[in-house]
Amino acid sequence: MTDEFEQKAGQAGAGTRDGVGQADAGTQDSVGQADPQAAKKTKMKALMLFQEAASVAVNEDLSPEMVEKINESNYSGLNLDSHLGVKYVAAGPKLVSVRLEVGDEHLQPWGVTHGGVYAALGESVGSVASYIAAGAGPAVMGTSNHTDFLRPSKKGDVIVTTATPEHIGRTTQLWRIEHRNEVTGKLVALTHLKTAVIADSKPNF
């Protein structure tokens, strides 16, 4: 399974981005326009990397090397996590955790972290956890996201967001997602995310 994924990922490698988010030559045509085929290959590579890691996480906690495959899939796929700067640090059957260093781009006008950052973190982490818990096959979608903001955080703080299950059913799941200051350990926000498991669904790539 791993060799097959790596072979396919290598074939789909044209059009990926490097570690600082710069597009390589494979993503644009001769007049500087985005190449749809290269973009499709990039998304497919990201999907395969994520699927490989998620499939393992169904049954066991991921090794650091496997967790990095999730990070690589995020940054090659150019999704919301990559724009926010999210880094996955742990994933397994009943826990997913990420880190985010708060920067200027995460702040609201009064200099503290925008509440939408916590809501987005909760949605991302809870959705990945839900997908793994559902067997890494059918798609999952958030149906409600309730996030309470308890304490402020500021530029330079590191937020650790961790999802654990409160209910895992056949068609619905409920996840408790804690957002904590890495240094103080204090809870700064709390998300409850409800998801629906969409049977017989496939990723839209």
Model confidence pLDDT, tens digit, residues 7-26: 444 444 333 334 334 434 34
Which amino acid is residue 91, in one-letter code?
A
123 is catalytic: yes
185 phi and psi angles, rounded to 5 deg: 75, 0
Cβ proximity of 203 and 136 under 8 Å: no
Within a domain: 27: no
- pLDDT at position 190 is 99
* pLDDT of amino acid 33: 57
Question: What strand order describes the sheet that includes 158-168?
Answer: 87-92, 95-101, 158-168, 172-181, 187-198, 139-149
CATH of the domain at 121: 3.10.129.10
pLDDT digits (tens, 9 = 90+) for 48-92: 999 999 999 999 999 999 999 999 998 876 789 999 999 999 999
Is 23 inside a domain boundary?
no
Domain count, the chain: 1
* CB-count burial class (<10 Å; 0-12, 13-18, 19+) for 120: buried
Tokens of 177: 């997602």
Q: Is residue 155 included in any domain, yes or no?
A: yes
> Considering 123, 166, 178, 182, which one is annotated as catalytic?
123
Residue 204 is assigned to a structural domain of this protein: no
The boundaries of the domain holding residue 127 are 2-18+32-198
Please say if the pLDDT value at position 2 is more than 50: no
